[in-house]
Structure 1
Amino acid sequence: MRIQWKKYVIITTIIATLLTGCGSKQSSGTTTSSTNSVTDSSTSSSTTSTTATAMSLSTSQVVIDKEFSDRDLDSSYDDSNAVHITLNDSSIEADSESGLTIAQNTLTITKEGTYVISGTLNDGNIIVDADDTAKIQIVLNGVTITSSDYAPIYVKTADKVFITLAENTDNSLTDGSEYVQTDDTSVDGVIFSKADLTLNGNGTLNITGNYKHGIASKDDLIITSGTYNITAVKDGLNGKDAVKVKDGTITISVTDGDGIQSKNGDDSTKGYVYICDGTINIKNSQEGIEGTAILIENGTIDIVANDDGINATSESKGDGDFGGKGGGTFENDTNVYLSISGGTITIDASGDGIDSNGSVIISGGTTIVNGPTNSGNAGFDYNGTADISGGTILVAGSAGMAQGFSDTSTQYSILYNFSSVSEAGTEVSLTDADGNKIYSYTPTKQYQSIVISTPDLKKDATYTLTSGSQSEEITLSSVITSGGEQSVGGHGGDQGGRGMKKFQDGGQAPDMGGTGNSETTDSGSSN
């Protein structure tokens, strides 16, 4: 039976501006001579080119630096002028005493330069304690370091530190379950930095964090290349000011923290996650990716989360503890947003699949959300507005709090709540009036609600949405179309596209006190 559908929206306004996007690939890592071995070119005019675009909310104060310096990208180094350090189980040797001190099993780097480290150190540390203008490159050339009561690598003072993974090397860093603090800083990561920190190279780094975080920076945390396998108790990657990923292969599994997090309770202009490209596999986490502003422009991202898959939220002013949870309010936080303009994102969430305490902007890429299965959460949840202008998204989750896109979108979308739950492994498909399959997917969790949007959806066209034995015919009379069982949830200023009871009496909407059907202005394209 053909059924007309009613839009369910509250009109809100979103203003967006275009930002430049991801640039060229980094140089391959070699141990050849390089004239800028410890020079950070972020102060020069030479930065990566821009090829992609992402959207940013004009109401947000977060200032996102999307540039990567030449030095961030270049993992080469001048081996002939570097200091070479050998780790010998419980002792340390160096071919020069310039720029460093050695005290039993602790190496302290005190001057700008390049330091190539190899070997195994049992229960020891590398500490950077240099001038706050110093730029230091640490090359891990087949290193294994364990530290029973402190961070294996601690950057105490520097301007910027580059940790380079030498080509084709395996490197491992492991800490203990308790730390003995040595200064007024609460050091809590296997690699912990109080300065800007960049990781690059063509080797592998294995991180085992038994205390708290895997890699943590009080400033920016940047990854431009390399392979990273991170296991930790708390966050896998944590940058208080920012986490920026240009490229690389990153695998994260954490038991009681977030895969990637950046929030700054002391500065409302900071605390963002920017993913330009790369392969990121968050195999276990509480929140997969969390930040005040989150921009994803490309890459392959897989997330398994016990709570929210992607969570855009701010941190309370003054709460500087890494891993602190924000949110908890249904009010629209105008400083918060999530922007997706490219990439392939797959989420398996027990909480909200995508959650923003502010707004959501999708202009490209492919995003798939599996879950949640409980009605107290939603596959798609936001407090501001959710605009889609490009890309493909499919959300398969519970119906209780289901939410669709806002009518400020320019690409057509559907929110439909089926009358009964479909089990995991039941394909959902959308076909046009001629029987052509527009999109299909087989969710990995049980679901009752579907949110779907693709560039192929057209105004006034009729589609059939099918899940197992359940099938409904839907006509897109407006840019957002919703139907099926009523969603019981609702919060914030926008109830965008929540599921509605099926219209009765030949598909006509029930009388809501007006004269005839009330239609919201359609802002979508007609072609």
Structure 2
Amino acid sequence: MNITAGGDHIVKGTLSNGMIIIDTTERVKLRLSGANITNTNGPAIYCKNADKFFITLEENTINTLTDTSTYTDQTAKGTLFSNDDLEIRGKGTLNITGKFNHAISGDDDVTIENGVIIVISAVNDGIHANGSLNIKGGTLNITVSKDALQSETEEILIEDGALTLSAGSQGLTTDTGVTINGGNIKVIKCNEGIQSKLTNINGGTLSIESTDDSLNSSMGKRTEANDGSQLSINGGSVYLSATKGDTIDINGNAKFTGGTVIVCGSTGEPGADVNGTFTISGGLVLITGSNNGMNEYPTGASPQYTIATMLTAAQTANTALCVKDSTGKVLAITKPKRNFYSIVFSSSELKQGSAYTLYIGGTVLGGTEINDLIAGASYTGGTAVSTITVTTSPTTAINWRTR
């Protein structure tokens, strides 16, 4: 099926061996209304040329796109491929299987406005953009062999939406920057969660379960020197968990100004590894490390107080950890998923000259758990393992113990 003129075009029904080709200088809107397209020698939808290409998923419809493992025209890079700007919107569902390369691919910008997009599988990336990749809303469930979301040259921006990502390589990756302003993002499987030169988290809920680094900011190569890359967490709820790498691995600077950050360190590596400056000026930060070395913590002029301690022995996974002030007020409760030795905690509740106690074990009753932080719960019992008095300036108060 060839579309050579602009305007609205409705597609419904089954095409068992073919594709839709768009080739025009005008804007094209393709309305998928119960379309099932399978191609045995190329992509299912191929926009060779358009001023701008829109796909609308009609409400209450399920649409399916499937390609093949070999393409006649290998300039097309995915099951749904556009040479020009691509925008997907609507209230329907789009199921995609990518057998050749990417599931959705655009040589310019790719924007997801809304709709339900399910990438059942792809041999490479789920959504791959040469330009910017913008997620403004919708529901995305992506399972792929390589990267779930990738932009080659520009920013990945997530404004809203519910994303569940399972990747063989990275969850979100770009050579420039990742910005998260909202949404509910769950990276349930990946090697690295977010890999980017600049990562800015301003809102939303983010949970990453990774094998290697959950958050990695670098200028393209591993180095122990400050390379100018940066991680900024300014709001939202962030949970990071890695099984073997540095959960937070920043070749440059880390700056936390707000939000809630819970970090579960991996076996053998610290929860946070920052080569540049590490400052905290707002929010709640709780980092546990499962190796017998200390997590990195703010050592410079951070406006907010931080306490850090090294325990005399490893605590087993899922053991309750509670921070209380001198009046017995609970400041934070969590149950790290792996054994932990070291603890870093920062909160606006920490005050100059006051003492704070870390408790291990005990009983947690009630409360609501969001990203491994248990809020509104009661805590009883437990063993006081460390009491730290905050010093006279908002740097880190350390109770360092060696085994």
TM range (shorter): 0.7 to 0.9
Question: Are 1:288 and 2:193 an aligned pair?
Answer: yes
Q: Distance in 1 between matches of 2:23 and 2:200?
A: 35
Asked whether the equivalents of residues 230 and 254 of structure 2 are also in contact (C-alpha less than 8 Å), the reply is: yes
Q: Distance in 2 between matches of 1:272 and 1:87?
A: 40
Q: Distance in 2 between matches of 1:242 and 1:303?
A: 20
Question: Are 1:86 and 2:12 an aligned pair?
Answer: yes
Stretches of structure 1 that go unaligned for 5 or more consecutive residues are 1-80, 92-103, 180-187, 264-270, 316-326, 487-500, 502-527
Question: Are 1:356 and 2:279 an aligned pair?
Answer: no
- CA displacement at 1:136 relative to structure 2: 2.0
Question: Are 1:485 and 2:378 an aligned pair?
Answer: no
Asked whether the equivalents of residues 235 and 260 of structure 1 are also in contact (C-alpha less than 8 Å), the reply is: yes
SS at match of 1:82: strand
Question: Are 1:122 and 2:38 an aligned pair?
Answer: yes
SS at match of 1:280: strand
- CA displacement at 1:82 relative to structure 2: 1.4
Question: Are 1:253 and 2:166 an aligned pair?
Answer: yes
Q: Which residue of 2 aligns with 1:519?
A: none
Stretches of structure 2 that go unaligned for 5 or more consecutive residues are 1-6, 72-77, 362-382
Higher mean alpha-carbon deviation, 476-485 vs 191-200, is at 476-485
Q: Which residue of 1 aligns with 2:349?
A: 456
Q: Distance in 2 between matches of 1:200 and 1:345?
A: 24
Q: Which residue of 1 aligns with 2:372?
A: none
Question: Are 1:396 and 2:323 an aligned pair?
Answer: no
Q: Which residue of 1 aligns with 2:111?
A: 198
- Which of 217, 225, 231 aligns to 2:137? It is 225
Q: Which residue of 2 aligns with 1:162?
A: 87
Q: Distance in 1 between matches of 2:144 and 2:384?
A: 43
Asked whether the equivalents of residues 403 and 415 of structure 1 are also in contact (C-alpha less than 8 Å), the reply is: no
Higher mean alpha-carbon deviation, 292-301 vs 117-126, is at 117-126
Distance 1:238 1:357, change over 3 A: same
Q: Matched residues, percent identical?
A: 29
Whichever residue aligns with residue 67 of structure 2, its letter is S
- CA displacement at 1:353 relative to structure 2: 1.6
Provide the TM-score with structure 2 as the length reference: 0.85
Asked whether the equivalents of residues 152 and 190 of structure 1 are also in contact (C-alpha less than 8 Å), the reply is: yes
Whichever residue aligns with residue 49 of structure 2, its letter is A
- CA displacement at 1:254 relative to structure 2: 1.2
Whichever residue aligns with residue 474 of structure 1, its letter is I
Whichever residue aligns with residue 130 of structure 1, its letter is N
Q: Distance in 2 between matches of 1:365 and 1:259?
A: 21
Q: Distance in 2 between matches of 1:356 and 1:87?
A: 50
SS at match of 2:352: coil
Q: Distance in 2 between matches of 1:105 and 1:407?
A: 59
SS at match of 1:288: strand
Map of 1:352-431 to 2, 5 A cutoff?
352-374=246-268, 377-398=269-290, 399-400=292-293, 402-431=295-324
Bigger Rg over Cα:
1
Provide the TM-score with structure 1 as the length reference: 0.65
Asked whether the equivalents of residues 419 and 484 of structure 1 are also in contact (C-alpha less than 8 Å), the reply is: no
- CA displacement at 1:258 relative to structure 2: 0.6
Give 1 or 2: higher strand fraction: 2
Question: Are 1:140 and 2:57 an aligned pair?
Answer: yes
- CA displacement at 1:242 relative to structure 2: 1.1
Whichever residue aligns with residue 451 of structure 1, its letter is V
SS at match of 1:330: coil
SS at match of 1:404: coil
What is the Cα-based RMSD across aligned positions, in Å?
A: 1.8
After superposition, give the CA deviation of every residue in 1:245-281 in whole Å (9 maximum; x if it has no partner).
Answer: 01001100112x1111111xxxxxxx10010100001
Distance 1:365 1:162, change over 3 A: same
Q: Which residue of 2 aligns with 1:107?
A: 21
Asked whether the equivalents of residues 107 and 130 of structure 2 are also in contact (C-alpha less than 8 Å), the reply is: yes
Q: Distance in 2 between matches of 1:307 and 1:231?
A: 18
- Which of 465, 475, 500 aligns to 2:389? It is 475
- CA displacement at 1:310 relative to structure 2: 1.0
Map of 1:169-184 to 2, 5 A cutoff?
169-176=92-99, 179=100
- CA displacement at 1:210 relative to structure 2: 3.1
Q: Which residue of 2 aligns with 1:152?
A: 79
SS at match of 2:282: strand
Whichever residue aligns with residue 174 of structure 1, its letter is T
Greater relative contact order structure (CA < 8 Å, 6+ sep): 1
Paired residue total: 357
- Which of 178, 183, 191 aligns to 1:273? It is 178
